Structures are given as C-alpha cells and as structure tokens.
Amino acid sequence: MAKRKYAGQGIRGQMTIELDEYGPLVESAEEPSEEYWVYHGAMRAGPVIFLYGLANGIYGAPFVELLVHKVCEVHYQFPVEYCAKMEDPHFRLEASQVRKLTSYFQIGSTLLECIPAIILSLFLGSWSDHIGRKKLFFYPFLGFLAAAIWTSFCTAYPFPPSYLLISSALAAVFGGRFIILMAAFSFVGDFTDNAHRSMNNAIIEGSLVVGIHAGSFIGGYTYENVGISAPFVTSVLLNATCVLYVVVFIHDRKATQYSSGCGLTGIFAFENLTASWTMLRRQRTGDNRFHLTLIIVASFISNIAFNGKNAVTQLFLEFEPFHWTIQEYTIFNSVVGLVGSAAVVAFVALFTQTECPKHRYCYDRVHFRIFGYIGYSISTSSWMIIATAAFSHMRLLCTVCIRSVLAERWNATNWARAMALVSVVQSASPLLGSVVFVAIFAHTAAWWSGLCFALGSFMLIIVLAIVAYVDIARRNPIYLH
C-alpha cells in the first residue's frame, strides 16, 4: 500500500493517504510526488470554482430577466411601457400572464439542464477514475462557454423565449454544473484525507458561493446600467478563462495509461454504470450501508427544497407584494451569500478542532434552513425577508455537512464513485424541485406566493428526522472506530 506523508497539525503540514496500488489512478509508469500540502486540491480547484461561480452568478439573474423580457415583448407583444412597469397594480393581469409563462420556461430550462446530467453522472465517476479529473473539469466549461455565446447572440435579435432553451441544452450536453461539482470534489478527494476533508470541502463550497453571489451583484448591475447583453458577454469571457485555467493549472494526482487523447472512449461502458452502485451495496459494519442510503436520501430531499426555493425566489421578490428590481434582488442575494459562505468556512474551521461528529452538527444546521423557509412563507414585506435571511444565513452549512458525512464513510479510492452518486442526486433534485415549486408558485402566487416555501419547510423536517435518527443510531460503540 503506497502512502503520502502528513507531518504536523498546521496548515503547512503534509498528509499521508493510503492508496490502492491496483486502483486505476495509481497504474502508471510515472510516480507522483510523495508529498502534498493538506489543502493542495482545494487551492488548485478553488480559483476555477470561484471563476465558475462568478460566471454563473453574472449569467443567472439576467437570464431570468431576459426570459421575462422575451415573454412580455416578443411572445405576448405587450407594449414596451407595460413591460417596463410590471410592478404597477394597473398591469396586474399582464404581470400574472408573464410570470406564469416565464415560470414554465424555467421548468423547461431545468429539464434540459438536468436530464443529461442525470444520465452522465451514472457513468462519469468510474470513468474519471481511469481518465482523471482534468477532463471531467474541462468539458463542462466548453458547454457553458457555448451557452453564454448563444445567449449573448439572442440579446441582439427579437428571438422568441423558446430560443433561450438552446443555451440550457448546450450547457447540459457537456455535463453542466453538476459534473463540474463532481469534478471539484473528486479532485479534492484525491489530495486529502478524512482529517482535512471537511475543511477542503468548505473551501470549495465557499469559493462557489462567494463567486455566485458576487457575480449576482455584478450581473444585476451591468444588466440595468450597462446593457442587456453585458452580463452574458462577461460570462463568455469568464468561462473562456475557466477553460484556460483547467488546461494550465489542473493536473491529476497521477497520469494513467488513458490520460492522453480526448478521453471520450468508453464513457458509456457498462462497468462505469455499475461501479458506484456496487460500491454502495458492499457489505459494511453494522448498519453503515443503511445509514449511507439514508444520508443520500436526506441529501436528495434537501436539494429538492434548496433548488426549488432558488427557482422561484427571484420571481417571488420581483412581483407583488415586494416589487424588487433586479438590482435590489442581486444586492440582497450577494450580501446574504457572501456572509453565509464566510460563516460556513469559519464554522467548519472551528468544528474540525472539536470531537463533535459531523452528522451531529449537520443535525443542528438543518434547523436554520427550516426557519428560513418558514420565514419566507409568511413574509409580506421586505424587512421580513431581510430578517429571515439574516437569521438563517448558516443554512449553507447543511450541504457541507451532508457531503462530509458521506466522505467519512468512503475511502479516497472510492471518492469519485461516491461523488457520482451525489451528482445523480444533485442533478435529479433541481428537476423535481423546479417542477414542483415553480408549478405551485405559478398557480398560487395570486393568493399565497409563499406556499411553496411552506412546502419546503415540511420537506426539511423529513431531512431533520433522518439526520436525527442517524445521529442516535451511530452512538452505538461499534461505530466509534
């Protein structure tokens, strides 16, 4: 069994990771360097994840606004002055029509984004064990680059809103955002151990959230003050930078015999499909396998609620009774996200110094999400939204906790396959979340726009019950080592 060295507890320490010498990432004539900084993977992947988050944030809110614009002016052919004053009570009927159809286009965009990612995720975990993580990073950024170029083109011509769905399809066929996250956490997993995995994961999550919310502010500002195409052109430049960064700075732990070439051969091999499921079904100590399955189910439900909330929040705040502008929404979103991501990194740094099991503080963090959803569901004015966001900003930690709980149950050589299962969950959950939440919002916004958030809080109570059960069950002495 080959090992990498870890010396000392400080951030300058090196680490020892046991490697399966028959594992695909170890079969090569070229020997890797024995020593790595404990945060080597996070420091290499963090910048490109930040740039991806920045590009995604700049693109996201303006894309919804562009949909609203296309639906209002091109599809319904309402006068420009109507479309510019959708918050005016005199245009309530027109606003309701625009809001409902925009919601349906959002569902279509999510379907196109998620279905290819679900299929690809089933194969890519094991595939990247042989090919490496670099290509798993590279191809999705090409898709985002193509999508941003097409959306920029759509801003210059009066295309109907359905043409914008091509952007979602372009991003999806190359893997989309879920494959990028699989690549990032698999890459980090290759260079870390269980003692430092939570902090490495928090750095990646923090980089992503900081980028998304900083980008959200920039996107909203440029859309309103520079021009309708400005955020999408900026996203093109950032995605091109991501492609170059991966080529120059992302290098696998070790080259394999399959690393050269495009690497696309054998993606859909049956062995890749079965590898992750075989790993999950392997016999484990006590009820470890059952607990793993429960945590994956909890992650699935949590992601449905999280993605469903994200799908409707912008429309929720831009229409009655709040009437926020896109700039007000993006400033709010940016501040909440930046504070939340800083709190996540600080909290994980604190808890890695304690003996508290990760599933226990995961249990605590779910409460913040529940209170946040309840607060949104009963809000009727802007100060209630701000107060709810301030109270529940630690909700972002729930995702980090669940991912770290899963990481503790798998060794380093199985990490990519574990991330493949997580990616399937993350790919399927926006599909269900958007369909359920957007459909509810479209039909109930006129009499209770916060009903979908109330549904989200109920879903998170189920997550809380699962995590609480696992916490109690794992106090059995057989799980202490």
Peptide bond just before 321 cis, omega within 30 deg: yes
Instruction: Return the pLDDT at 231.
Output: 95
Alpha-carbon span 183 to 177, nearest angstrom: 10
Count Cβ atoms below 10 Å from residue 381 Cβ, excluding itself.
Answer: 10
The whole-chain average pLDDT of the chain stands at 78
Instruction: Return the pLDDT at 166.
Output: 95
Choose among 218, 238, 229: nearest CA to 327: 218
Give me the mean pLDDT over the 376-388 stretch: 88
Helix then strand then coil, in percent of the chain rounded to 5, is 75, 0, 25
User: pTM score, two decimals?
Assistant: 0.74
Instruction: Return the pLDDT at 257.
Output: 52
Instruction: Return the pLDDT at 45.
Output: 94
Confidence band for 273, pLDDT divided at 50, 70 and 90: low
Confidence band for 149, pLDDT divided at 50, 70 and 90: very high
Name residue 7's beta-bridge partners: 14
Q: Which three-class secondary structure state does DSSP give residue 7?
A: strand
Instruction: Return the pLDDT at 440.
Output: 87
* Residue 15 predicted with pLDDT over 70: no
The residue ranking higher by pLDDT, 191 or 261, is 191
* Residue 16 predicted with pLDDT over 50: no
Which domains are assigned to the chain? 40-479 (1.20.1250.20)
Choose among 292, 479, 469: nearest CA to 363: 469
Question: What percentage of the chain reaches a pLDDT higher than 90?
Answer: 18
pLDDT tens-place string over residues 391-413: 766 656 666 666 666 666 655 55
Is 324 within 8 Å of 317 (Cβ atoms)? yes
* Residue 260 predicted with pLDDT over 60: no
Give me the mean pLDDT over the 18-40 stretch: 51
